[in-house]
Chains A and B, each alone.
Chain A
Amino acid sequence: MSLTVVKGLQSEIFVPVTPKSVWAPVTKPMNEWVVGLATAAGVHLKSQERFNLAGDFTWRKIPNDTPEDQLMVSHGGYDNSDVNKDINCMFPITRIHELAKDGVIKGAAPFHAGFMGGGGNIEKFTNETGPAVAAMFKEEGVDAVIVTAG
């Protein structure tokens, strides 16, 4: 059987391309990790500027010792009702403190990151927001990051 080959033929079906993989190796045992949190759920301090619900590529630096009742969510892209009841649904800060207390990890990062996912200026996210958050975690000496999004 011979195949019919047409040069330059493309599928009519949109086939998105998955980006090349990125990979950072683990270098220490878990009980020596300082763990950071990055959430796309629109978490920030009540005293900080709210996110623009129509699309916002900025991010907020969240101190590790922030009490739960000083945190809030502004995000127009998902049902906020669970996270409004308990911030740990998307930003499990208290659970990270418990894991540190139990010796599962060494500790929590001094600062975490909140931003508003779900679209917006992807170019800015890729070229500015992402690298800025990564640089903060790098500077803090963070060993692992839990991201909540998607």
Chain B
Amino acid sequence: MQRAIESVGIPTVIVAALPPVVRQAGTPRAVAPLVPMGANAGAPHDVEMQYNVCKDALQFIAECETPGKIEPLPYEYHAVI
């Protein structure tokens, strides 16, 4: 999906919980906060974390110069199971 959008000329970033998977799928740009699958953009109701994940993801679109780069983001959330 990301590759399809990118190929029509729109820059994208994927917010990934599983960086190796998106690397394998050939992502153009990815950011990876320390999150479980299902809360990629941040912990539920954690407005500040979600806001910053989105903002940093967009910032990474603006700054990234190397296709395939995966940028770790300094936010962490552990789901209690």
Contact present for B38 and A41 (CB under 8 Å): yes
Residues of B within 8 A of A113 (CB): 1
Q: Nearest Cβ in chain A — how far from B47, in angstroms?
A: 7
The proximity string for B residues 2-29 relative to A, scoring 1 for CB distances below 8 Å and 0 otherwise, is 1111111111111111110111111110
Q: Which residues of A contact B14 (CB under 8 A)?
A: 146-150
Given A99-B58, A115-B1, 20 more pairs with CB closer than 8 A: A18-B23, A20-B26, A22-B7, A24-B10, A24-B28, A38-B12, A79-B79, A81-B38, A81-B79, A89-B43, A91-B41, A98-B51, A99-B51, A130-B5, A131-B4, A134-B8, A145-B10, A145-B12, A148-B41, A150-B18
Find the B residue at minimum CB distance from A59.
Answer: B1
- A148 and B4 form a contact (CB under 8 A): no
Other-chain contact of B6, A23, A78, A90, A150 (Cβ < 8 Å): A23
Decide yes or no whether B73 CB sits under 8 A from chain A.
no
Q: Does B11 contact A22, Cβ atoms closer than 8 Å? A: no
Main secondary structure of the interface of A (DSSP, over half): mixed
Q: Which of A83-114 contact B (CB under 8 A)?
A: 83, 85-86, 88-92, 95-96, 98-99, 104-105, 113
B37, A38: Cβ atoms under 8 Å?
no
CB-defined contacts of B6 to chain A, threshold 8 Å: 22-24
Give every chain A residue within 8 A of B22 (Cβ-Cβ).
Answer: 149-150
A150 and B55 contact, CB distance less than 8 A: no
Residues of chain B lying within 8 A (CB to CB) of residue A51: none
